[in-house]
Amino acid sequence: MPVEVRMGSTTDALAPVSVAERSLGAGLWQWIGLAAVALAALGADQLTKIVVSNHLALDEGIHVAGPLSIHHVQNSGIAFGLFSSATAVVIVLTSFAVGWMLLFFARSGARHPILPAALGLVIGGSVSNLIDRVRLGHVTDFLDFRYWPAFNLADSFIVIGVVILFLILLFTDREPRRRHVTNASATRS
In a domain, 4, yes or no: no
pTM score, whole prediction: 0.77
In a domain, 116, yes or no: yes
In a domain, 86, yes or no: yes
* Positions in the chain whose pLDDT score sits under 50: 9
What span, in angstroms and rounded, lies between the C-alpha atoms of 154 and 48?
10
Active site residues: 141, 155
Note whether 59 and 73 are within 8 A (CB).
yes
pLDDT in tens, 31-46: 999 999 999 999 999 9
In a domain, 15, yes or no: no
In a domain, 8, yes or no: no
| Greatest alpha-carbon span in the chain | 89
Tell me what pLDDT residue 24 has: 81
In a domain, 92, yes or no: yes
Secondary structure string (H, E, C) spanning 34-101: HHHHHHHHHHHHHHHHHHHHHHCCCCCEEEEECCEEEEEEEECCCHHHCCCCCHHHHHHHHHHHHHHH
In a domain, 77, yes or no: yes
In a domain, 189, yes or no: no
Number of structural domains the chain divides into: 1
For residue 120, the enclosing domain spans: 26-172
